[in-house]
Structure 1
């Protein structure tokens, strides 16, 4: 199948949405699908207000249309609600083509943290955006229920995976020399991640933050005893995780929290609040501890067996997730493929 995916989240951004589509498209290609990625990388962009590391495409409609007409997709997926997502949505509506969409981020809650905009207004906008999609894919059952309660329709679950070839445990914890136990946060350093809830905890040992974002400098000055490593990638990132003792996930607004799976794959139990995301990923008392008292959760997580976390992560593969993604698409132009003359991949 020829699949076009429009996503405003792409490299060099570092977040769960980007990793999800990186891994999903890799697996889809290995399964024999042809993928056209419509990302900010090949469009004129400007920095997002209040978040300059995110680039927003300017007037992407004409080029997106030309690219889709050249690629002739069998299915179109709108991954995000930014300029590229809007352009792909308009193209499908104008040409009366079915499309699927994804709800990755609780933008209404994120916007509310930065501006006094009522949640009801933001959710009304999101319902309008996703309403024409034949299916809206969300990562967990609890998130599906939240959207149904907000008046969304045709919402289905599409799970997430982890690359256990990269994220794996290590018997040698000496990579991080700080006093133990080491409690780690990995992800975007921004207000919507509720990272202060972790940094304010009175915990023994050391707190380590792996990642970057608009609040890193301010928080580094505010919490001089916390180790801020900045972004780390691939094998080095996995070494950071594997050298810690507990992964602390303070967010209350994530729809999934892919980093929790990556931490588990490295043998780290997770401490989190009992909210959407963690409640679908963590087996409470086995692979992590969920508690409104995040300090208590972090200390109790120290007592859990890392092998239970590793075993759980190994049951979540990206291949399985990619198949689920493809199964939920709505093809509109899928003639039988000539196995002797495979089509050429186009990747932007």
Structure 2
């Protein structure tokens, strides 16, 4: 099968969309499918890999802005992962040629619009390119927080889905969120599987020594951005509660590139600054060492569509604690992850229990590993290929 994958997130970007796209493309290629990944690449042609398009770095952001270029090779399926210039070009190309299109909804655009000004700007571009007849007042509404912005973003969501043969939701939470926009477009829940653990050079003791953390200190780990939509305020407040019971506890925030000063100020306010380690992002193959060096993964985001780090941590035998009740069910099994109310007292109590109660930890670790084994890469690949094969042909636009 010839499959064109389209993503505005380049694979070197250490974040969930790039990880999911990289996992999917690798599994398909290993199974013998002809896959071309259209994504941002270096500006110079001689440095670009097949499918990569010229792009420029975006100041203060970890991603690249690519030239909106359509796929240039025949494809039986176009699978779009993002709604930036490349994703929109892929949707328009497939629609014009009657090629069935899969759209995976990786990002909650409505939730992220409150924190990233590029979301409304990108939404305006996507809407205009896809034929929405927006006037100046619509574009003005997109640029201002409030219900009018949400109305326009929902309208864009319906337009994007109208250009898609099927929508892939990486969780039941996302499927429920998108149901009102879907119209006649079917929704399939298909989470990205966690990759197998890497054999990292750094073991638990060595990495802790490098971070200045005692070998026997309880360690909480948060992986990903420390930006407001991930709720670091709650994490630090709950960590302060943990320290009241476990004064030797440490908190490691891996992936904190932006808002570092704000995080330090908040940590000082809660009296835990000396016990917090802020680490910049590392390549995906180095994250495993940090899972091994920790005792609990702390996840306070309520804006994620899947939270791929949850399954990744479980693959390494690390229990997770969360506050998003809509993401508690593990892919592959009917088991659920430990969850608490999003308050410092409740979440701090859950973290403390996972650090101190041996039987609870063992049960959570066992269920997490069983779910990762059940929702394997092979099972995901089989479901995805079955989905591709069942796609009805789209109608080409004149």
Q: Normalized against structure 1, the TM-score is what? A: 0.83
Which whole-Å CA distance do the structure 1 matches of 2:191 and 2:101 have between them? 19
Partner of residue 339, structure 1? none
After TM superposition, give the deviation of residue 269 of structure 1 in Å: 0.9
Partner of residue 340, structure 1? none
Which whole-Å CA distance do the structure 2 matches of 1:99 and 1:287 have between them? 32
User: Which secondary structure state, in structure 2, belongs to the residue aligned with residue 289 of structure 1?
Assistant: coil
User: Which secondary structure state, in structure 2, belongs to the residue aligned with residue 72 of structure 1?
Assistant: coil
Which whole-Å CA distance do the structure 2 matches of 1:279 and 1:299 have between them? 21
Runs (4 or more) in structure 1 with deviation over 6 Å come to none
Q: Does 1:327 align with 2:386?
A: yes
Partner of residue 207, structure 1? 251
User: Which secondary structure state, in structure 2, belongs to the residue aligned with residue 207 of structure 1?
Assistant: strand
After TM superposition, give the deviation of residue 298 of structure 1 in Å: 1.4
User: Which secondary structure state, in structure 1, belongs to the residue aligned with residue 10 of structure 2?
Assistant: coil
Q: How many residues align?
A: 323
Which whole-Å CA distance do the structure 1 matches of 2:77 and 2:106 have between them? 19
Q: 1:279 to 1:288 in 2, by over 3 A?
A: closer
Which whole-Å CA distance do the structure 2 matches of 1:9 and 1:301 have between them? 35
| 1:25-74 residue CA offsets vs partner (Å, 9 max, x unmatched) | 1111111101010001133334457x52121213x23xx25x2xxx2111
| 1:224-272 residue CA offsets vs partner (Å, 9 max, x unmatched) | 4310121233553211111111100110010110101111111111110
Partner of residue 183, structure 1? 220
* Contact 1:256-1:278 at 8 Å conserved across structures: no
Q: Normalized against structure 2, the TM-score is what? A: 0.74
- Flag structure 2 segments of 5+ consecutive residues without an equivalent: 42-51, 117-143, 244-248, 268-272
Partner of residue 130, structure 2? none
After TM superposition, give the deviation of residue 102 of structure 1 in Å: 0.9
Partner of residue 54, structure 2? 44
| 2:74 alignment partner, one of 72, 75, 92 | 72
Which whole-Å CA distance do the structure 2 matches of 1:331 and 1:26 have between them? 25
After TM superposition, give the deviation of residue 309 of structure 1 in Å: 2.7
Q: Tell me which structure has the larger Cα radius of gyration.
A: 2
- Flag structure 1 segments of 5+ consecutive residues without an equivalent: 334-348
Which whole-Å CA distance do the structure 2 matches of 1:325 and 1:216 have between them? 39
User: Which secondary structure state, in structure 1, belongs to the residue aligned with residue 312 of structure 2?
Assistant: helix
* Contact 1:57-1:83 at 8 Å conserved across structures: yes
* Contact 2:11-2:22 at 8 Å conserved across structures: no
Q: Which has the higher helix share?
A: 2
What is the RMSD computed on CA atoms of the aligned residues?
A: 2.7
* Contact 1:77-1:100 at 8 Å conserved across structures: yes
Partner of residue 56, structure 1? 65
Task: Using CA pairs under 8 Å that are at least 6 residues apart, name the structure with larger relative contact order, 1 or 2.
Answer: 1
User: Which secondary structure state, in structure 1, belongs to the residue aligned with residue 251 of structure 2?
Assistant: strand
After TM superposition, give the deviation of residue 137 of structure 1 in Å: 0.2
User: Which secondary structure state, in structure 2, belongs to the residue aligned with residue 227 of structure 1?
Assistant: strand
* Contact 2:315-2:372 at 8 Å conserved across structures: yes
| 1:105 alignment partner, one of 89, 104, 107 | 107
Partner of residue 116, structure 1? 145
Q: 1:167 to 1:280 in 2, by over 3 A?
A: farther
After TM superposition, give the deviation of residue 222 of structure 1 in Å: 4.4
Q: Does 1:260 align with 2:289?
A: no
